[in-house]
Amino acid sequence: MREVIQGYTREAGVRGLERQLGKICRKIAAKVAAGENVTAHERTDGYAYDNAHQHKTEQQGSGNAAVAIGTENGASAASPTIDKPQVLKYLGKREIHEDEIVERVEMPGVAVGLAWTATGGDIMFFEATKSPGDKGFTLTGQLGDVMKESAQAALSYVRSRAAALGIDAEIFQKSDIHLHIPAGSIPKDGPSAGITMATALASLLTGKSLRPKIGMTGEITLRGKVLPIGGVKEKVLAAARFGLETVILPKRNEADLDELPKSLREQMNFILVDTVDEVWAAAIDNGEEG
């Protein structure tokens, strides 16, 4: 059950979990209908057996889920226990990989943002690259107008802080910059990705990667102020689900942390900021310890 939740569902509710469990049950039912043995062979540890009048299964650990299969006379013909290898067999490769976050932010120009969706919180990767060109700025990933404006504001602020960041001002005159948010088939909009886009751009142009397992959300102004956003609870829950350890939030959203479970507040590190410069100080890895 834990493997299905962590590897194949994203939303805060249980509808996605219900669909995935239903998919497993349907595939097992199809095997039963085809006359295949689905008892002990559906697990790689412990045991499961049955006879005409009784069945018995042993579950070991929270990662296993028992699925009962009925017979025509109402008796339980089998109770296969599905473990991690069987989840992979029935659902395919994991949709969610915690290690991917660490691997992707090792490269300068990549930042992790927190988003709110109709199914709850989620994370998004923001990827920035540059190439020789004539000052072009390209945005891709099916972005809405508000998000495009936030990206323009983010780039303008990074340019205004070039000297403080140690960025050669000529790089803006001689480079085409491309900012992409993957999952291009999914429309994206809203102002809360402002600090994430500014951080991805600053990381790219300074050549410094971000510290691992950091996610962020916050609206940006042209003067570098960080404004409050919505969906804090859902976004933080998503950050925890994906293995992030630190979340950067607008200072004015501090009261929203009271809505989080106490265990989550104690588990995660929250950095509350008023300015984009504070975001960069917390997120960009300058090679310093701590």
Catalytic residues: 192, 235
Both tokens assigned to 121: 């919180």
The 10 Å Cβ neighbour count of residue 24 is 20
The H or E element spanning position 198 is helix 194-206
Spatial separation of the C-alpha atoms in residues 55 and 78, rounded to whole Å: 7
Give the DSSP H or E segment for 32.
Answer: helix 15-33
Within 207-250, residue ranges assigned H as helices are 232-241
CA-CA-CA-CA torsion for 234, 261, 256, 215, nearest 10 degrees? -50
Q: Tokens 């209908």 label which residue? A: 33
Backbone angles phi, psi at 73, to 5 degrees: -90, 5
Q: Please give the Cα distance from 236 to 240 (Å, whole number).
A: 6
Question: Residue 137: CB partners within 8 Å, gap ≥ 6?
Answer: 151, 152, 155, 176, 177, 178, 179
- How many Å apart are CA 148 and CA 217, to the nearest integer? 16
The C-alpha atoms of residue 51 and residue 147 are separated, in whole angstroms, by 61
Please say whether the beta carbons of 78 and 49 come within 8 A: no
For residues 114 and 17, give the distance between their C-alpha atoms in angstroms, rounded to a whole number: 21
